[in-house]
Every structure is written in C-alpha cells, then in structure tokens.
Copies of this chain bind each other. A is one copy, B any other.
C-alpha cells in the first residue's frame, strides 16, 4: 500500500535528518497528519524563517543571528583574541562555555578528517583555521576534539601545521571523568589517566 505522495515526500525529507530513521520519520509524519495544521504549520513557519535569520558565524562557526556576524563570542572585547579553542562542531561551543574556564575565541571545524569517507585535507574550515592563524594575533591553540581515530588524526594534522607556524598547541587532558568511579573506566582511559597523572 503506497503512501499519499505529499506524505511520502515529507517522510523522505525527515529521514535525511540526523538520528531519524525511516520508521521514526513515518511516525512523525503520521503524528503531523493526525495533529492537523497546528504543529505542521508552526514547524513549517519556523523552518521557513530559519535560513534568513540564523547562520553560522563566518569566523568561528557558532550559530548566530544573521544580523550578528561575526558572532557575540568573536566580537566580545573581554575575550582574549590570542587563544583559540578548536572544536569539531558548532554545538560543542556552548558546552565549553558552560565549563566556564575558557575566555578566548573559538573555531569550529564542522567535521574532521576522514580519509576513509573521502573527507580529506580540503575541509574548508581547517584551511580557514590555518589562514586565521597565519593572519596573526593567535598565540595559543587548544584542540578540544573528540577521542577517536578520526579526531586524533585531525588533531595531529592541525597540531603539525600550527607547530610549524610557531604556536603553542595543547589538547584537552585525557583522564577519568569527574564524579565517576574507577570501576566504570575503560582500560584506555585509565592508561591515559595514569600517563597524564598530576602532582598533588
């Protein structure tokens, strides 16, 4: 039994969103049909307005109102322009902001090097980072990337390029999470925590 075309089209689009599989898309579409114009209409309007009103900051990649580009974090004079925190995704930025100890500027890569998936060194945001650093002013870079093969490769590549430019480069410390017990830590995390042990 085939679905009505407008429904099939919506399901196809929903299934392209991250974390939504075919079945979820069907459930969501059915709910929107049952709900009548209400939620579907509100969503349609919110989506129609989005592209004109919100964008990624042309400097750091953070989400920002279109009329505020560069974003608030890039233009705040109280933030140290000499220290740059490099993250993988724009939505990592609020996480670091919440930690409350970083007061420099950001640069979101919007991805990482993934030669396996054919995503090579031509990531324009990585090139943008190197350009940004070459233009001067940045003295220190903190790589706040994930801890998996692709993130490690990305960090190694960027660290190599930045070290050639004479910058101070660091990565987030690897260790056991705050509030956790040793029993729940995997051997790799524990070995990194031992290697990176801190004097008390």
A31 within 8 A of B: yes
A27 at the interface (CB under 8 A from B): yes
- Interface flags for A149-184 (1: CB within 8 Å of B; 0: not) read 000000000000000000000000000000000000
For A16, A30, A56, the residue with the greatest tally of chain B CB atoms inside 10 Å of its CB is A30
**Within the complex, what minimum Cβ distance (angstroms) separates A91 from chain B?**
5
**Residues of chain B lying within 8 A (CB to CB) of residue A138:** none
| A28–B50 alpha-carbon span in the complex (Å) | 12
Chain A residues within 8 Å of chain B by Cβ, number = 56
Q: Are A4 and B43 in touch, CB under 8 angstroms?
A: no
A18 touches B7 (CB 8 A): no
Q: Fill in one digit per residue for A1-38: 1 if any B CB lies within 8 Å of its CB, else 0.
A: 10111110110011011111000101111111110110
- What is the count of identical protomers in the complex? 2
**Cβ of A91: which chain B residues have Cβ within 8 Å of it?**
26-27, 30
Which B residues touch A32, using CB under 8 A?
17, 47, 50
A71-107 at interface with B (beta carbon < 8 Å): 73, 89-91, 93-94, 97-98
Quick check: is A40 within 8 A (CB to CB) of the other chain? yes
Asked whether A198 is an interface residue with its Cβ less than 8 Å from the other chain, the reply is no
B47 & A1 in contact (Cβ 8 Å cutoff): no
Interface contact A27-B31, CB-CB below 8 Å: no
Bound form: Cα–Cα A27–B19 in Å: 9
